[in-house]
């Protein structure tokens, strides 16, 4: 991390030292909101933002995200967790309590195409990506210079299907060494094994063009151009063992017409990919996403 980013992080941590977030998922029933609010009130916490959603009000699931200010949160954190547990048990909650000041460590995986990586690096440099990009891993050397110029470690690990287990073992060692909380596949053109994905459940975000399941495989824009599509787009999702079928976080589209050749369509598509991935990553870092089965609730 360079000096500018270190100062940005230190300033953010100071400003947010008493800010916390609470994510809740549980069966819907009366009294959840009032009980949680009363708990925070009794611990001198002031609710800054609160969002909730009930999926199927009759016997469905309840989802909630609360952001709050609590004096001396760092010292109180363990006590809050211990004293909230009986409430969680009472409502059968799946829950997380997180201090906002604690930046997540992020790893970026990239192959040849740098557009998504560059977008994340720009957001990082501008102070709009509240995370520590701990390292970049690539199966090509082409992005080394731009990454290392920002003081971010770059690791070149050649990869192909015949050495996949060996490659992933090296990657996992690095992820453990850097205490990585989130992995972003910024156009990393290698398939991850089920074992790798299971180890990082809901911690791997991918981006791909939204032609899928149409135009699977190589040169999708060329084939989409020949087909005469009128819209192109991108989808960002969590990675699961089912290829490109994980819980969707964000999507967007752009219109094209007969004047756009395959090269121009790809350029438009890459711009959409960049923005869609950046939004998905930011929402994850801001603890705005709750995964439920193969869907996401994004607050």
Check if CATH label 3.40.50.170 holds for domain 104-298: yes
CATH of 17-99, one of 3.40.640.10, 3.40.50.970, 3.40.50.410, 3.30.70.260: 3.30.70.260
Query: DSSP letter at 26?
Result: E
Q: What are phi and psi of 206, to 5 degrees?
A: -120, 160
What SS3 state is found at 32?
helix
Give pLDDT tens digits for 217-276: 778 899 999 999 999 999 999 999 988 889 999 999 999 999 999 999 999 999 999 999
Identify the pLDDT of residue 261.
95
In this model, does residue 3 exceed pLDDT 80? no
| Geometric angle at alpha carbon 246, from 245 and 251, rounded to 5° | 85
Is 244 part of the annotated catalytic residue set?
Answer: yes
Tell me which of 128, 162, 195, 244 is the catalytic residue. 244
Q: Quick one: tokens of 188?
A: 């990393």
- What percentage of the chain carries pLDDT values higher than 90? 88
Rounded average pLDDT over 104-127: 96
User: Could you state, in order of their start, the residue ranges of all structural domains in the chain?
Assistant: 17-99, 104-298
């Amino acid at each position: 991390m360079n000096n500018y980013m270190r100062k940005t992080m230190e300033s953010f941590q100071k400003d947010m030292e008493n800010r916390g977030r609470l994510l809740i998922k549980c069966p819907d029933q009366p009294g959840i909101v009032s009980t949680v609010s009363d708990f925070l009130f009794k611990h001198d916490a002031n609710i800054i933002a609160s969002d909730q959603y009930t999926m199927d009000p009759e016997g469905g699931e309840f989802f909630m995200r609360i952001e709050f200010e609590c004096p001396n949160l760092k010292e109180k954190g363990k006590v809050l967790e211990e004293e909230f547990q009986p409430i969680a048990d009472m409502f059968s909650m799946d829950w997380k309590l997180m201090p906002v000041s604690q930046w997540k460590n992020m790893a970026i995986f990239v192959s040849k195409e740098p557009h998504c990586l560059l977008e994340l690096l720009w957001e990082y440099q501008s102070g709009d990506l509240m995370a520590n990009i701990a390292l970049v891993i690539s199966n090509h050397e082409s992005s080394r210079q731009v990454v290392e110029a920002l003081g971010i470690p770059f690791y070149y690990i050649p990869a192909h299907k015949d050495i996949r287990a060996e490659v992933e073992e090296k990657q996992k060692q690095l992820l453990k060494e850097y205490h990585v909380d989130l992995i972003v596949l910024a156009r990393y053109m290698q398939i991850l094994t089920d074992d790798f994905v299971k180890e990082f459940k809901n911690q791997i975000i991918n981006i791909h063009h939204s032609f899928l399941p149409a135009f699977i495989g190589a040169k999708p824009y060329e084939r989409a151009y020949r087909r005469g599509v009128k819209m192109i787009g991108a989808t960002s999702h969590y990675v699961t063992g089912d290829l490109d079928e994980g819980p969707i976080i964000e999507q967007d589209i752009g219109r094209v017409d007969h004047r756009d050749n395959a090269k121009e369509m790809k350029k438009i598509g890459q711009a959409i990919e960049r923005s869609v991935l950046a939004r998905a990553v930011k929402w994850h870092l801001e603890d705005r996403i709750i995964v439920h089965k193969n869907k996401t609730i994004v607050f």
